[in-house]
Amino acid sequence: MHIVDNVKHVLEKTPPELAADIVDKGIVMTGGGAMIRHFPKLLSNHTQLPVSLAETPLESVVLGTGMALDKLDVLRKIEKAER
């Protein structure tokens, strides 16, 4: 249950404006963990939130990383603001 506990911890620490989006839209799972049988249902049961899989879970991680690298200057500004 460590993964579920960590997800719940992150949700508890999520700012209210983002938490509202998560409650409205649910959690979208990506990566290899998203493909573990019954894990999305387990996560949904423990968080009481809708959980769905990305259309292509493995590719979405790579695509998201690429998008983040394209906006590296924005990420650096966010990182500085959080300090």
**In the chain, how many domains are there?**
1
Backbone dihedral angles phi then psi of residue 28, each to the nearest 5 degrees = -110, 120
How many CB atoms are closer than 10 A to CB 60? 17
> What are 21-74's pLDDT values in tens digits?
999 999 999 999 999 999 999 999 999 999 999 999 999 999 999 998 999 888
Given a cut of 70, whether residue 1 has pLDDT beyond it is no
- For residues 80 and 69, which has the higher predicted lDDT (pLDDT)? 69
Q: Which domain holds residue 58?
A: 2-82
For every residue of 18-35, DSSP letters joined together read HHHHHHHH-EEE-SGGGG
Is the entire prediction scored with pTM above 0.85? no
CATH of residue 17's domain is 3.30.420.40
